[in-house]
Amino acid sequence: MHLTKFGHACVRVEKDGRRLVIDPGGLTEPQALDGADAILVTHEHFDHFSEETLRRAAEGNPALKIWTNTSVAGRLDGLGARVTPVGEGEVFAAAGFEVKVHGTWHALIHPDIPRVGNIGFLLDGALFHPGDALTVPDATVDTLLLPVHGPWSTTGQLIDYVRAVALRQSYAVHDGALNEVGTAMVGGFLGGDGSGIGPRYDRLTVGASVGIG
For residue 194, pLDDT beyond 70: no
For residue 193, pLDDT beyond 90: no
Torsion angle, alpha carbons of 73, 60, 3, 176, to 10: -70
Count of CA atoms in the C-beta half-sphere (13 A) of 97: 30
Percent over 70 (pLDDT), the chain: 97
Write down all domains in the chain, each with its CATH number in brackets. 2-208 (3.60.15.10)
Lowest mean pLDDT among 10-14, 111-115, 184-188: 184-188
Instruction: Give the model's pLDDT for residue 110.
Output: 96
Segment 73-105, tens digit of pLDDT: 999 999 999 999 999 999 999 999 999 999 999
Phi-psi region of 153 (alpha: psi -120 to 50; beta: other; left: phi over 0): beta
Q: Is the dihedral of CA 16, 97, 204, 180 positive or negative?
A: positive
Segment 170-184, tens digit of pLDDT: 999 999 999 999 999
- Residue-by-residue DSSP string for 99-148: EEEE--BPPPS-TTS---B--EEEETTTEEE--SS----SS--SEEEEE-
Quick one: average pLDDT of 121-147? 97
Nearest Cα neighbor of 210 from 163, 133, 145 is 145
Predicted TM-score (pTM) above 0.85: yes
Instruction: Tell me the C-alpha distance between 205 and 203, whole Å.
Output: 7
Instruction: Give the model's pLDDT for residue 30.
Output: 87
**Residues 24 and 56 sit within 8 Å (Cβ to Cβ):** no
- Residue-by-residue DSSP string for the chain: -EEEE-STT-EEEEETTEEEEE---TTS-GGGGTT-SEEE---SSTTT--HHHHHHHHHH-TT-EEEE-HHHHHTTTTSGGGEEE--TT-EEEETTEEEEEE--BPPPS-TTS---B--EEEETTTEEE--SS----SS--SEEEEE---TT--HHHHHHHHHHHT-SEEEEES-TT--HHHHHHHHHHHSTTSS---SEEE-PPTT-EEE--
**Residues 23 and 185 sit within 8 Å (Cβ to Cβ):** no
Instruction: Give the model's pLDDT for residue 197.
Output: 65
Instruction: Tell me the C-alpha distance between 82 and 71, whole Å.
Output: 15
